[in-house]
Structure 1
Amino acid sequence: MSETAPAKGAPASRPSISIVDHIVVDDEGRALTEPLREDIRLLGGILGEVVAEHSGTDVFDLVESARVAAFGVRRNEIDRSELADMFVDLDVATAVPVIRAFSHFALLANLAEDIHRERRRAIHVRAGDPPQKSSLAATYRQLADAGLGDEEVGKALADANVVPVITAHPTETRRRTVFEAQNRITELMRFRGRTELTPDEDAEVTEAIRRQILTLWQTALIRLERLTIQDEIRSGLRYYDASFFEVVPAINTSVRAALRSAYPDAGLADEPMIRMGSWIGGDRDGNPFVTAEVVTLATTLAAATAVGHHLAELENLAQELSMSARLITGTEPLLALAGADADDPGVDEPFRLALRHIRSRLAATARGMFDDDFLSSSDLFLVDGKSPYHDASELLADLDVIDAALRVNNDATIADDRLLSLRESVRTFGFHLSGLDLRQNSDMHEEVVAELLAWAGVHADYASLGEEERVEILSAELQRRRPLTSPDAELSELATKELGIVRAAAKAVATFGPEAVPNYIISMCTSVSDMLEALILLKEAGLYDPGAAGENSPRSTVRVVPLFETIEDLQQGATTLLAVLDVPFYRALVESQHGMQEIMLGYSDSNKDGGYMAANWALYRAELDLVEAASRSGIRLRLFHGRGGTVGRGGGPSYDAILAQPPGAVRGSLRITEQGEIIAAKYAEPVTARRNLETLLAATIESSLLDVEGLGDESESAYEIMDDIAARARAAYSRLVHETPGFVEYFTTSTPLSEIGALNIGSRPASRKQTEKISDLRAIPWVLSWTQSRVMLPGWYGTGSAFEEWVGDDPTRLEALQRYYEKWPFFRTVMSNMAQVLAKSDMGLAERYAQLVPDEQLRDKVFGMIVDEHERTIAMCAEITGTDDLLHDNAALKRSVYNRFPYLEPLNLLQVELLRRFRAGEDTPLVRRGIQLTMNGLATALRNSG
């Protein structure tokens, strides 16, 4: 959006690029979105009525005036300064309900857009159109077209495993009450759209929607207190009842059946393809609130959620399976399970008896795991004298008896309903629910291990040793069963805490099974010793066993997972992998873990370190190198992608991102983080959860079985070109972020960084250390700050310069990039994600934030560099893609940007105004609240918090 005059009281400045000029919406596009606009008009109209009734007509009139002016700005009918002037010196008590109104509208517009996507998909299905890309149906069709054989499919998917990992530092800004009200409105809108209603019925549904919107309006959007880690644990678990228990088992069942039907001789196992993971309560990297007690709480609550679900479903099954022995044949295993005699005339309902026995054993299991308060009085009554299940496989075996007995009586249709779902749930969730990963920074490991070695008399100054000596000492200790400490050892607070955490994990493994804590992730891993230090801690807790002396048979149910984060660490990742596999006992450990080594790739810090293009290419190159290293070493590689919600942290459409991986990087197995508001957007309710989980699975299967890179013989030359472009992009990025004097001052004063800490969106501090260095700042506030100020710098900066420099005046070079855009999924995805970020950026609004920088010379220099690169990047994007339309390949985002981004204008302008007052000394609770509310509203509207 262009701005032809400066902000009030601000010096004149250069005009900025109009992003709307790069978003093309034709008449057909408008027609297709008319139902969406109708929904938005309905919801917005009700919201307006509520605002007028409960906050007064003055507030309503100001909201309406601002709304009209915002659209006028988009159409270049008025200058942005006219809209900004409405908020200059506006009473804060009036500003707050205005902010809330636009924030609520953003939330309701998100809801309408999600429903519209469902509506469009249903239209395509009813029309008999081919299945949509990224659906499992489309994947099955592609596999069939490829003519794959059973053996090929069986080999690629022998241990297929897709694990979405709910992370330990969510940026979800909505409170649970807001979340639940939004879900109720969604259901009402779906009902209204799918049902032929009479006028009276329609009025009744509309009134029900009005009640929910009124409830939302009178519910505080932000928390008064910061979330605790305990809150985050419970928040993460709510998605299981909301969607995962219904959807995950259903997908696992259906995909197994579909693949077995198409490839009956592939030998596909019964193991679930989708399992769940979590970092919430186990990730202590920079989070001092994660303790042994927190690990215990996280694993216990997760297990209680799983076992509680199983108990409830057993009770429901007992109500449903009322078959009488007078009408069906009771199999011997069923009667044995029921504890009944086949000749006993008093046995009339064997299924119910058998299910009562199963439930009683599971209740006995639960009593051994949890407090008696966990069980209902009826469950406690069942427990006496019953032996608990040793593990979930024993429960599954009993349920299989029920299943077989139903099928003997031609009751397959009953067996394939709730019972099938429960059997799959037990396979998928076991008694542990999801695997809790532990994570800590390598620096912390070094400090603790140094203390342990000194206490044990192994070496007085481990930190002073070089890498070779460290590996030698650690290897020796990891091949001995002796502990380095004793229970009465007096250790530092850090060592005591770290050992307490791994011991709590060991207790969870003993109680809930090895799946409860499957991985130990090492942040900022740079060396072999970093990996071995983590094993030392696992050994002290009994999670790692060196085996008998001289047998070289180490065992650990917990995998050690290095996390390569910075550009340099990614570039050295394969070297580190090969080096650790050269350590004999470690190689033996990997062999004992099914020959599998997992590597985690960090999208956030690599981007903060080197910029968008350099980070994306470093990740791709690292994967190529790791795949080659794993092949050379004869091990299996599983990659864990640490992606955030925003493009600057690896975000973007998951399907495209997975298909953009290099050849051999997936191979049936994938772990991927799900963070912040993305969790709610994807998994808040069953319809969207199924769609998003299917997408992950579809992309994983396609990447494992099909040639998706598409470069053929051109791959090596393409890689060399990208090496050059990435180096240029990193240099351009570094000139601004790392080399421009005063850049940190510009960043901290032109964005709401310092105010983010008060938003109460998570338990984790904004920085790993108390410092103003960019390198120490966490990626979430780094990205969130640029997102709020509409610069979106982490998602594009440096790329335009790199392209422009590399292409120069050579048309053949431009043609090469255009060719890659057409045929190479990696390059197309990088360009598409960048275009999405550019579409959400706005240099006119960014200039408003730049005015907050006190140093005028610094402001002009840095903002000038940002605007120049922004224009350059948009121009090069158009040259490469062949279109000025930034969103030509993303209809959903195009609708969003075009139809409702004007509603963001007042939120941004009010945020700038309140930041200006706050920093001028107007530090009142209401001003703080207003700033926090604008952050919440913008995060909701932009659908990414960081």
Structure 2
Amino acid sequence: MSLGGGRSPDEFRASEPLKDQVGLLGTLLGRAIRERGGQETLDRVEALRLACREAARSGDPGPRRRAAGRIAELDLEAIGWLLRAYTTFFRLVNQAEQREIVRVNRERSREGGLDRPRPGSIEEAVAGLADRGLDAGDVSALLDRLEVIPTFTAHPTEARRAPVLGKQRRIADLLTALQDPGRTPQEEDATQDRLFDQVALLLATREVRSERPTVRDEVEQGLYFLERSVWDAVPRIHEDVDRAFRRCFGEAPDLVAPFLRYRSWIGGDRDGNPNVTADVTRWTLATQRARAARLHARELERLRDELSLSASEVEVPAELTASIERDRRELGVPEAALSTHQDEPYRQKLTCMLVRLERVREAAERRARTDGQPEPAGARTDVAPAKSDADETPDGAWSAGELEADLDLIDRCLRRTGFEAVARTGRLRRARCLVRTFGLHLASLDIREHSGMHERAVASVLRSAGVTPDYASLPEATRLEILDRELRKPEPLRPDGSELAAEARRVLDTLGVVREAVRRDPRSIGAYVVSMTHELSDILEPMLLARVAGVWRLEADGVRCSLDFVPLYETIEDLRAAGDRLRSLLRHPLYRLQVEARGSMQEVMLGYSDSNKDGGYWMANWALRRAQEELGRTCRDEGVELRLFHGRGGTVGRGGGRSNRAILAMPPVVQNGRFRATEQGEVISFRYSLPEIAHRHLEQIVSAVLRGAAASEGAPRPADGDPARAELLEGMAERGMAAYRELLEAGGFWTWYLRATPIRHISRLPLASRPASRQAGEIEFEGLRAIPWNFAWSQTRYLVPGWFGTGRALGPLVEDPRTLEACRAMYREWPFFRAVVDDAQREMGRARLELSRMYAALAEAEGGGIHARIEAEFERARSALLRITGQRDLLDNEPVIQESIRLRNPYTDVLNLLQLELLRRWRAAGDTAESGAAREDDRSRLAGEILLSLNGIAAAMQSTG
């Protein structure tokens, strides 16, 4: 893994293909560094890596200290070169590892053959159900109620710029080409030349954005992955289902229900982000509709090429002819457009459909060009939507249902005339699957807003309408009386728009956009998520605002509303009370009518990030587990279907980890075939950057949801519902939270955190359109978001949120032989406990307290004992985990990850040493009295290199927050 000298076989014990590719990439990067930065730079890169490797191997910190001393002697330009070299190296290695995942998965599929399905595949899940005695009808019924809804969010926003992502994608493609066994020597040379070009360009591409991305930039980023990976992955998943049925039951259903659909928060999540305005949301919806029309048009063009059936050779059903004539009249399609396919009725029909799609696209693009432009201040005083609901011409008003009906017509006609095989397996099946999944909205857009914003908005509306002057000061019972009364009135409140507070205008404008969107396409909007839901009024308030905006109304036969209102429980207190609070909500007569209007299904979101920041690792995991159980029982008792929405992040401290394992570890009472989870920031880039990895990710999720739903109908798992084990976990959670809280409340902790970590620089890193803190000004614990909180711990190699408290939680139990054996039994038998233990040891395996100690030295005056406290807890945790798992060292159960960490550490250590030197210089520059333009320029350059170091360590650790 050396740079410029190929690989060192003694230090890299991965597969031969991966060793070869990493060695080649290292050689090419070394050549690029030498050509641009000189041999001295390359020698410096290698010398620092070898010093850090020696320190890691010997346990002697001396070589690392000497490396730090050499870095201290370098000027800023030399440090910048080192940062670029190491960051680029990790960009390349990450791509090579992704390609290796693809290669290994393909190899396993080939080895398994037809008789042994690949582990985690849909075929394995279906075969397992067949072995349990389920027939094709039983499995089809399970699939009919299956809902898998990945949800894209922008945060923590991908640290890489679009040009960096593009080059990495091209490098991945070239690495794939090099694995082609049929390539000629000339082709291999040419491919390596192109690969070097991309490596050299990547090295010279600016890593850090010059300014924060806009919400539109984030929307485009999400659309990139929807178009490039998700669009092709979804039909492949449906093909997997078809293939599994045929192999297990001999036949497959015609077209299963669209169980896999996508949603997005990007452009709709306004919680704490003032940049997500109503106009931006309207632009997002129009842009997604235009992209969907364009993608479907591409599919129909390919289908038109395929369906070249001639009327002189095959029967033409009357309904196809009638449909073409109707299209011709309605659309005014020029004769010339159809004459090209004079004797080809299927091509004529598809031409008419393409004309409709083109008009949909043009109408949506016109709306996108005119929407999203902020109106002049004071331009409106009403509370109605700014744009007309009828802003789209009939030509552009084609619905997804009409598109699907036309494809179904073609399917019927083909089957009726002897082309059933073409209809069943060709491009038509793919096109039908895509329309049923993505419609003309691509991904349903969720709206999220903070409960406090609703409270202020309702207070303003009620004051303006003369209902009550100070709603916010009223007790909960009085609030509920007012909300219930106003929701039941025949006419909605008509507040004077000129008197409304800015918060009220913001929320009502957003709901006006929702009203427009659902009238055009009911599937364009997903749910309305209320963050920080504490009370019943927190859900009734947005309902009242929706009533004012014309989105919600009560009629004689029930509620009319196209929105699901989703409570988000994210603090430990709220998670503990989640079951009772949902029961109160479902028993409220008006809200129960709302739930019935939405098919008697209630979605509830659980926040993994804030619960960890609030209560620490063990309490967050246990509180989330208990909340799931209570919510499942509540909905079962109230006769309501539950869909849990898991707000997971990428790191363990934010609920990250293996999705399929997390699904199978859920309580049986919520294993109902409905699964929704966020796909966030850099996690999107990893899971969806390559179509093959996207497919593998999705097949594992679908397989796990299917298996879990089937298992929940059988006998309960022995570990679930065991009161003795629940009591043990409750004690672990309480002790773990006590340790975590003691850390946060230790004298000088917050000042220590601010000085020992690069959190102030993280808040300035232009990663996202959303501010890093909920409040402007000085960074405070309560206002700091969970993402930068985790990011800072990751940069310093502590990774506290993913394990701290484990020693206190488990320590007393492993000292008693009886409870030690109970813990070992839980680890063997209980997927939930095993997941929590293994996630903790994975984070501890990635931690590097030898480096963390050097960050702590930056703040010893503020919190001299903080590092010692963390280190002591680490050793207690390590000892307890090893006794429970029976391992000799952390991650012995995951040798591939263990080896990857070992190999990455020397390179990552150098990046940490570079960052530490930059932070010292920043502090020194801030403490000096020297000022002036030249000094400010130096600080600006220094700040830029610090930001680059954040990106570099994020690439090395493969996570931001």
* TM-score when normalising by structure 1: 0.91
Cα distance in 1 between the residues matched to 2:679 and 2:411: 35
User: What amino acid is aligned across from residue 413 of structure 2 in structure 1?
Assistant: A
For residues 833-877 of structure 1, what are the alpha-carbon distances to aligned partners after superposition, in whole Å with 9 as ceiling and x for unaligned?
A: 11110111000000011011151xx43311110000011111111
Summarize deviations over 1:506-541 as a string: whole Å, max 9, x none.
Answer: 212222x12111201111101100010111121122
Question: 2:622 aligned with 1:617, yes or no?
Answer: yes
- Of 517, 541, 544, 1:536 maps to 544
* Maintained 8 Å contact 2:553/2:560: yes
- The aligned amino acid for 1:459 is T
Pick from 824, 831, 838 the counterpart of residue 832 of structure 1.
Answer: 838
Asked whether the equivalents of residues 157 and 268 of structure 1 are also in contact (C-alpha less than 8 Å), the reply is no
Partner of 1:637: 642
Question: Counterparts of 1:288 and 1:59 in 2: how far apart (Å)?
Answer: 44
Counterparts of 1:541 and 1:691, CA distance in 2: 43
Distance 1:269 1:621 in 2: 37
Question: Using the alignment, how far apart are the partners of 2:304 and 2:253 within structure 1?
Answer: 34
Pick the aligned partner of 1:236 from 197, 205, 222. Answer: 222
> Aligned partners of 2:716, 2:889: CA distance in 1, in Å?
25
Matched residue SS, 1:546: strand
**What does the per-residue CA deviation read over 1:641-694, in whole Å, with 9 as the maximum and x for residues that have no partner?**
000000000001111111111112131111100111110000012111101111
Cα distance in 1 between the residues matched to 2:121 and 2:105:
11
2-side partners of 1:755 and 1:374: how far apart? Answer: 36
Counterpart for residue 721 of structure 1: 728
Q: In the alignment, which of 692, 707, 714 is matched to residue 697 of structure 2?
A: 692
1:379 matched residue in structure 2: none
Q: CA 1:709/1:896 → structure 2, altered by over 3 Å: closer, same or farther?
A: farther
Aligned to 2:273: 287
Q: Structure 1 residue 715: deviation in Å?
A: 2.0
User: 1:542-553 maps to which residues of 2 (within 5 A)?
Assistant: 542-548=550-556, 551=557, 553=558
What letter corresponds to residue 670 of structure 2 in structure 1? A
Counterpart residue number, 1:378: none
Distance 1:389 1:397, change over 3 A: farther
* Pair 1:594-2:599 in alignment: yes
Match in the other structure for 1:3: none
Partners of 2:494 and 2:545 lie apart in 1 by 11
Change (3 A) 1:756 1:712: closer
Matched, 1:44 2:26: yes
| TM superposition shift of 1:316 | 2.8
Matching residue of 2:347: 352
Q: 2:867 maps to which residue?
A: 863
Would you say the 8 A contact 1:851–1:859 is kept in 2?
A: no
Provide closer, same or farther for how the CA distance between residues 486 and 81 of structure 1 changes in structure 2, counting only shifts above 3 A: same
Instruction: Give unmatched runs, 5+ long, in structure 2.
Output: 1-8, 329-338, 371-391, 927-937
Contact 2:290 2:360 (8 Å CA) reproduced: no
Cα distance between partner residues in 1 of 2:294 and 2:877: 53
Q: How does 1:504-515 map to 2 (within 5 A)?
A: 504-511=513-520, 513-515=521-523
**Structure 1 counterpart SS, 2:606:** strand
Q: Is the 8 A contact 1:245 1:425 kept in 2?
A: yes
Quote how far apart the aligned CAs of 1:264 are.
9.7
* Aligned pair partner of 2:612 in 595, 602, 607: 607
Cα separation, 1, equivalents of 2:808 and 2:670: 30
Q: Which moved more, 1:677-686 or 1:709-718?
A: 709-718
Alignment of 1:214-613 (within 5 A): 214-255=200-241, 258-259=244-245, 270-339=256-325, 347-371=342-366, 390-415=398-423, 416-486=425-495, 488-511=497-520, 513-548=521-556, 551=557, 553-613=558-618
Aligned equivalents of 1:357 and 1:583: distance in 2? 50
Corresponding residue for 1:198? 184
State the match for 2:757 in structure 1: 751
Q: Corresponding residue for 2:166? A: 180
CA 1:396–1:109: 2 relative to 1, 3 Å: same
* 1:126/1:662 CA distance change after superposition, 3 Å: same
Which residue identity lines up with residue 102 of structure 1 in the other structure?
Y
Deviation at 1:266, TM superposition (A): 11
Match of 1:92 in 2: 76
Deviation at 1:405, TM superposition (A): 2.8
Q: Which residue of structure 1 aligns with residue 858 of structure 2? A: 852
Report the CA distance between 1:144 and its aligned residue.
2.2
Query: Does the CA-based 8 Å contact 2:719-2:830 persist in structure 1?
Result: no
Does structure 1 retain, via aligned residues, the 8 Å contact 2:268–2:276? Answer: yes
Q: Distance in 2 between matches of 1:185 and 1:496?
A: 48
- Matched residues in 2 for 1:850 and 1:774: separation? 18
| Distance across 1 between alignment mates of 2:654 and 2:222 | 21
- Mapped to 2, the partners of 1:155 and 1:445 lie a distance apart of 40
CA contact (8 A) 1:150 1:264 kept: no
Structure 1 residues 236 and 792: alpha-carbon distance in aligned structure 2, compared to 1, 3 A threshold: same
Is the Cα–Cα contact under 8 Å of residues 645 and 677 in structure 1 kept in the other structure? yes
Residue 863 of structure 1 aligns to a residue whose secondary structure is: helix
1:70 and 1:905 in contact (8 A); partners too: yes
Residues 101, 276 of structure 1: alpha-carbon distance in 2 compared, 3 angstrom cutoff: same
Which residue does 1:659 correspond to in 2? 664
Percentage identity across aligned positions?
39
Q: Distance in 2 between matches of 1:33 and 1:368?
A: 52
Q: Distance in 2 between matches of 1:248 and 1:723?
A: 40
Deviation at 1:934, TM superposition (A): 1.0
Partner residue, 2:6: none
* Partner SS for 2:604: strand
RMSD: 2.6
Tell me the alpha carbon deviations over residues 786-832 of structure 1, each in whole angstroms, 9 at most, x when there is no partner: 0000000000001111111344x310101001111011110111111
Name the CA distance, whole Å, in 2 between partners of 1:373 and 1:453: 34
Q: Which whole-Å deviations, capped at 9, do the CAs of 1:867-889 have from their partners, x for residues lacking one?
A: 00011111111011110232233
- The 1:795/1:945 distance shift into structure 2, 3 A limit, reads same
> Alignment length, in residue pairs?
902
Contact 1:599 1:639 in 2 (8 A): yes
Q: Provide the secondary structure at the position in 2 that maps to 1:561.
A: strand
Spell out, residue by residue over 1:112-160, the C-alpha distance to the aligned partner (whole angstroms, 9 max, x if none). 1112222222332222374343222222232223223566545544321
Instruction: Output the CA distance in 2 between the equivalents of 1:373 and 1:879.
Output: 60
Range with greater deviation from structure 2 (538-547 or 102-111): 538-547
- Tell whether the 8 Å contact from 2:155 to 2:680 is kept in structure 1 after alignment: yes
Q: Which amino acid aligns with 1:580?
A: L
Cα offset for 1:410? 4.0
SS of 1:339's equivalent? Answer: helix
Contact 2:143 2:259 in 1 (8 A): no
The separation in 1 between residues aligned to 2:648 and 2:728, in whole angstroms, is 25
Report the TM-score when normalising by structure 2. 0.90
Helix, strand or coil at the partner of 1:838: helix
| Cα distance, 1:499 vs structure 2 | 1.1
Aligned counterpart, 2:108: 124
Which residue matches 2:332? none
Name the SS of the counterpart of 2:859 in structure 1: coil
SS of residue matched to 2:707: helix
Aligned residue for 2:669, secondary structure, equals: coil
Q: In the aligned structure 1, how far is the partner of 2:142 from the partner of 2:350?
A: 38
1:774 and 2:793 matched = no
**Other-structure match for 1:4:** none
Query: 1:876 corresponds to which letter in structure 2?
Result: A
Q: Which residue in 2 is equivalent to 1:16?
A: none
The gaps in structure 1 that reach 5 residues or longer are 1-26, 376-383
Report the equivalent of 2:944. 929
| Equivalent residues of 1:789, 1:908 under 8 A apart | yes
Alpha-carbon distance change, 29 to 249 in structure 1, aligned in 2, over 3 angstroms: farther
For 1:72, the aligned partner's letter is E
| Deviation per residue, 1:362-414 (Å, 9 max, x gap) | 33344444429999xxxxxxxx9985554211111111222233334444454
